[in-house]
Amino acid sequence: MALLKILEFPDPRLRTVAEPVSAIDGCVVKLVDDMLETMYAAPGIGLAATQVNIHRRILVMDVSEDKDSPMTFVNPEIEIINSELGEFSEGCLSVPGFFEIVNRPRRIRVTYLSLNGNEEIAELEGLEAICLQHEVDHLDGKLFVDYISPLKRGLIRKKLQKLQRQRA
Ligand code: GNR
Ligand code: NI
C-alpha cells in the first residue's frame, strides 16, 4: 500500500479528462488499494484517480459512519433518475479548506465495472449520489468550484496559490 500525492486547484492536471479502463488487471487493483488508503488517510469520503494524477476512469468512496464500506467504480456512467435537485455544502481534497453549496440531482443510476470485472447497476441517493457525481466530475476534469461564481472561484484560487507558494 502507498499514500499518493493529491493534486490541488488550480493545478491544470485536474482538468484532464480520464480515459476508460479497458480491463481490470493487477495494476488497477493496486491503484484502487492505494487510492482507498489515501482517501482514508486524508480523510475524505471519496477520491477520483484524476486527483492522484492517474487519468483513468476509476473512483473510490466510503460515505459510511464507521469507514468500513469502501466502494469502487470503474468506468462509471451516470443517468439522472429524477431531475429534482438537492443542495449540499461540498468540499474537496483538491480544494482544501473551502466549502460551497452545490446543487445536484438527488437520485441517480450508475452503471460501472466492479473490481471483479462485472458490469453493475446501482441506484444512489443522499450523500452517495452527491459524492459519486462529485467524483465523476473529477474524471471529466471538473471541480465543484466550477459551479460557484467566478469571483468566489478566483478568490479561492488566489488563496490556494499563496499557500502553495509558502509550502514550496
Ligand atoms: O471528502 C470529501 N467530502 C465531500 C463533501 C461534500 C461533497 C463531496 C465531497 S468529496 C470529498 C473528497 C474529494 O475531494 N473527492 O473528490
Ligand atoms: Ni473532490
List, for residues 90-148, the tens digit of each pLDDT value.
999 999 999 999 999 999 999 999 999 999 999 999 999 999 999 999 999 999 999 99
Among protein residues, the one with the nearest Cα to ligand 1's atom 13 is 92
Q: What is the mean pLDDT of residues 9-19?
A: 99
Q: How far is the CA of 7 from the centre of ligand 1 (A)?
A: 14
What pLDDT band is residue 162 in, cutting at 50, 70 and 90? very high
Q: pLDDT value at position 147?
A: 98
Contact 45, 63 (CB under 8 A): yes
Q: How far is the CA of 122 from the centre of ligand 1 (A)?
A: 20
Backbone angles phi, psi at 126, to 5 degrees: 60, -150
Which of 58, 94, 103, 134 should be mutated for ligand 1, with most atoms under 8 A from CB? 134
Q: What is the mean pLDDT of residues 10-17?
A: 99
What is the Cα–Cα distance from 58 to 37, expressed in whole angstroms?
15
What pLDDT band is residue 52 in, cutting at 50, 70 and 90? very high
Nine cell digits for residue 32: 484502487
